[in-house]
Amino acid sequence: MTNYCYSVKMNLIMEENQKQYEMIFILSPNLEGGDLDKTKNEISEIINKHKGTISFKGSEKRTLAYPVNKQGQGIFLITEVLISPENIANVSKELKLNKQILRHLINQLEVPKPETLKPKPIRRPVATKNKFISEKEKPSPPKTPPGTLEEIDKKLDEIIDKI
């Protein structure tokens, strides 16, 4: 009974130390049906051997940007793994030994903590002045002097006479 409690506590401690990773594999394009399942099982066994859990997200055959091990195509396999960081190096070494795995990439997934999540401020559009000019604001046309020079002379004479 005490051994059971101890193992449950150890499992809880292990789960606290585990981190979530995304593993992407490029598998040989020659794998079909049963062979692909066999390779997936081998990958699962390696992860389980190092006290991790794995879930397969999807697989798709694609053309590679450049040849890898003289292969122009590959099967992309995307997985999510929950494992302790100390075991990642050992898992990577064992995956390199599998001839069906052309390449693999391991990325640690960031899981944000709820208390660190902050709501983003809402950006509202800034109010700008209308660029339309109302009738009152329209500039008045420039005043033009009276028509001819004779008219101007007459007005000047009238002004001088008043002084």
Asked if residue 10 has pLDDT above 80, the reply is no
pLDDT at residue 81 in the model: 94
What mean pLDDT is reported for the chain? 80
Q: For 104-115, how does the pLDDT look when each residue is reduced to its tens digit (9 = 90+)?
A: 999 998 866 666
Q: How confident is the model at residue 17 (pLDDT cuts 50, 70, 90)?
A: confident
What is the band of 6 on the pLDDT scale with cuts at 50, 70, 90? very low
pLDDT > 60? residue 146? no
Cβ-contact 103, 25 below 8 angstroms:
yes
Bigger pLDDT: 10 vs 159: 159
Q: Where are the domains of the chain?
A: 8-110
Closest by Cα among 20, 81, 75, 12 to 46: 81
For helices 88-97 and 33-49, angle between their N-to-C axes, nearest 10 degrees: 150
CATH class of 8-110: alpha beta
Q: Is 27 exposed, middle or buried (0-12, 13-18, 19+ CB in 10 A)?
A: buried
- The better pLDDT of the pair 63, 146 is held by 63
Handedness of CA 65, 69, 70, 72 (dihedral sign): negative
pLDDT of residue 123: 76
- What mean pLDDT do residues 97-108 have? 92
N-term to C-term CA, the chain: 126
Whole-structure pTM value: 0.58
CA dist., res. 100 & res. 95, Å (int): 9
State yes or no: pLDDT of 120 exceeds 90: no
